[in-house]
A and B are shown apart, each in its own frame.
Chain A
Amino acid sequence: MRRSFAPWVKPDAKPLIRFENVTKRFGDSTAVDHLSLNIFEGEFFCLLGPSGCGKTTLMRMLAGFETPTKGTITLGDQNLAGVPPYRRPVNMMFQSYALFPHMSVEKNIAFGLKQDGMSKDQIADRVGEMLRLVQLEKLARRYPSQLSGGQRQRVALARALAKKPKVLLLDEPLGALDKKLREETQFELMDIQHELHMTFVVVTHDQEEAMTMADRIAVMDHGRIVQVATPGEIYEQPKTRFIAEFVGDVNIIEGHVQGQENGLWRVKTSSAAVPLTIDDPDEVLHSGQAVAIAVRPEKMVIQRDPPGPSAINVLTGEVWDIGYLGDWTVYRVKLATGEILRVTRANASRFVENPIEWDEQVYVTFAPDAAVILAE
Chain B
Amino acid sequence: MTMRRLSVFNVTSLVIGFAFLYLPILLLVIYSFNASRLVTVWGGFSTHWYGALFRNEALMEAAWVTLRVAFLSATLATLLGTLAALALARYGRFPGRTLFTGMVYAPMVMPEVITGLSLLLFFVAVGFDRGFWTITLAHTTLTMCFVTVVVQSRLMTFDRSLEEAAMDLGAPPLRTFFSVTLPLIAPSIVAGFLLAFTLSMDDLVIASFNTGPGATTLPIKIYSAVRLGLSPEVNAASAILIGIVTVGVISATLLSKRSVLRSRRNSH
B164 contacts chain A at the CB level, 8 A cutoff: yes
Chain B nearest Cβ from A93, distance in angstroms: 9
Instruction: Give the number of residues in B that approach A within 8 Å (Cβ atoms).
Output: 22
B165 contacts chain A at the CB level, 8 A cutoff: yes
Q: A96-B267, A98-B159 are in contact. Are A115 and B165 (CB under 8 A)?
A: no
The CA of A107 and the CA of B239, in the complex, are separated in Å by 46
* Proximity string of chain A (114-131) to chain B, C-beta cutoff 8 Å, 1 when within and 0 when not: 011000000000000000
Chain A residues with CB below 8 A from B183, complex form? 102
Q: A96-B267, A102-B184 are in contact. Are A163 and B170 (CB under 8 A)?
A: yes
Q: A100-B180, A102-B184 are in contact. Are A112 and B170 (CB under 8 A)?
A: yes
Chain B residues with CB below 8 A from A92, complex form? 164-165, 168
Docked-complex contact A159 and B169, CB < 8 angstroms: yes
The CA of A111 and the CA of B169, in the complex, are separated in Å by 7
B166 contacts chain A at the CB level, 8 A cutoff: yes
Instruction: Give the number of residues in A that approach B within 8 Å (Cβ atoms).
Output: 27
A54 contacts chain B at the CB level, 8 A cutoff: no
A85 contacts chain B at the CB level, 8 A cutoff: yes
Within 8 A of A (CB), among B254-268: 262-263, 265-267
Is the contact region of chain B dominated by helix, strand, or loop, or is it mixed? Answer: helix
Partner of A145, one of B161, B168, B265: B265
Chain A nearest Cβ from B94, distance in angstroms: 15
Chain B residues with CB below 8 A from A275, complex form? none
Chain B residues with CB below 8 A from A101, complex form? 162, 184, 262-263, 266
B230 contacts chain A at the CB level, 8 A cutoff: no
B72 contacts chain A at the CB level, 8 A cutoff: no
A sample of 15 inter-chain contacts (CB < 8 A) reads A64-B167, A84-B167, A85-B168, A86-B168, A86-B171, A87-B170, A91-B168, A94-B164, A98-B164, A99-B165, A99-B266, A111-B166, A115-B175, A144-B266, A145-B266
User: Which of B's residues lie within 8 Å of A, judged by CB?
Assistant: 159, 161-162, 164-172, 175, 179-180, 183-184, 262-263, 265-267
- Please name 7 further chain A to chain B contacts, defined as beta carbons within 8 Å, in addition to the given A101-B262, A115-B169, sorted by A numbering: A86-B169, A87-B170, A98-B159, A100-B166, A101-B162, A144-B266, A145-B262
User: Which of A's residues lie within 8 Å of B, judged by CB?
Assistant: 63-65, 84-87, 90-92, 94-96, 98-102, 111-112, 115-116, 144-145, 159-160, 163
